[in-house]
Amino acid sequence: MRTDFDRELEERLVRYCAIDSQSDETSAATPSTAIQNDMLRLLAGELAAIGAADVRQTDYGAVLATIPATVPGPAPVIGLLAHVDTAPAFRAAGVRPRVHRRYDGSTITFPDDPGLVLSPADSTYLGERIGDDIITASGTTLLGADDKAGVAIVMTAAHHLLANLSLPHGRLRLAFTTDEEIGRGVHARLPADLGADFAYTFDGGRRGEIESETFSADRATVSVEGVSVHTGYARGKLVNALHLAARIVATLPQATMTPEVTEGREGFLHLYAMSGTAAEAELKFILRDFELDGLAARGALLRQVCAAVAAGEPRARIRCEIAPQYRNMRYWLEKDMRPVALARAACEAEGIAPVSVPIRGGTDGSRLTELGVPTPNVFTGMQEVHGPREWVSVQDMAAATRVCLRLAALAAAGATAR
């Protein structure tokens, strides 16, 4: 049976996903794309309309708001976050969300790409959601449930709390961020502006997942400068930058260290962009590992390969620049697991078995935790993200909304009891 949460969540997700808000790592602007401001302005207007306090859009690309406390006393201030941008890994313009009501377990097809299919055979969690309302895109774009499912969950929870002022909770701070997908979602001013004792990102996967461990992450850029010569007179003179770039890629251990051959707690080194000409080429990598020594080892390997290729062709210039992105939130959360325990208790109170698994990725919570705001990650139901088969269950989103409301109530009850 569909609930009011289901209806509101479906309406919000379908509407939000139809708005293009893709981020762009090649842009130096804040946010990286102007279209993300479309989502921010929409959310600021909706927050004001439902009665949220202190609604403002920051100059660094975030919307902040407050849900005032309904209990007296020193209840903790809790932050609730989601990001509005969608991944630049796949097309995101012209998203046409489709709702598959009361999913029956059969293969889902896509009208804009008849060859594309989604079924429990290759998306096993889908087989556990029979009877749910499943939302997908139409085949040629991603859906954007990452993380507009989280946006819909936080907005629906806020709407419910502001419409039901008798529900007990402490002060809640909402934040909708930009550029999470390109590792720039947490501005240095956000922790102070958020003003939360601890927070939660709603940016996770299957029902019940409460995540307190992420990858640590670096980004690497390899620049190759060859020697450009007219091809008709190139013998003994031309140094082709593209050939050297290809040699770097071929020398790296692709059989053991790329995302497509790793799982669980295994890290990886992933080439995600390659461009250039015979004169100059550029390779972009992301490096991931759960431990800092493993992350450093992957960076050292990339530098070693670049140095070896450069030594074989001294006329070329090869530079390898590695920059940090975020760090495993476990390093800080393991010192105080109370926010994690609260989220797990909220799941159990809603009849949901909590599951804690390391995230093979990161969230805004990784950086927020590092900056002093402990921020575990909570499930939304999103699956197969960053591609055209992305999907989410409305009922999973409703479960996450109930967990959000429950953890706010439990935090207030704990403060009152003390």
54 CA to centre of own chain: 26
Q: Packing angle between helix 145-163 and helix 36-49, nearest 10 degrees? A: 10
- CA–CA distance, 400 with 82 (Å, rounded to integer): 13
Q: How many C-beta atoms surround the C-beta of residue 70 within 10 A?
A: 18
50 CA to centre of own chain: 26
Per-residue exposure over 192-213, b if at least 16 CB sit within 10 Å of its own CB, e if not:
eebebbbbbbbbbbbbbbbbbb
Question: What token pair was written down for 115?
Answer: 């060859």
Please provide the DSSP assignment of 69-115 as one string: -SS-S-PPPEEEEEE--B-TTS--TT---EEETT--SS-EE-TT-TT
Helix (H) or strand (E) holding 4: helix 4-17
128 and 373 Cβ atoms separated by less than 8 Å:
no
332 and 214 Cβ atoms separated by less than 8 Å:
no
- Would residue 350 show up in a list of annotated catalytic residues for this protein? no
DSSP letter assigned to residue 44: H
What is the three-class DSSP state of 268? strand
CA distances from 180 to 80, 83, 153, 185, 297 (A): 15, 6, 17, 4, 26
- Would residue 85 show up in a list of annotated catalytic residues for this protein? yes
User: Of 133, 146, 180, 364, which one is the catalytic site residue?
Assistant: 180
- CA–CA distance, 49 with 289 (Å, rounded to integer): 43
User: Of 10, 20, 85, 384, which one is the catalytic site residue?
Assistant: 85
For residue 252, give the amino acid letter.
Answer: L
DSSP letter assigned to residue 270: E
38 and 151 Cβ atoms separated by less than 8 Å:
no
What is the Cα Rg of the chain in Å? 23
Active site residues: 85, 180
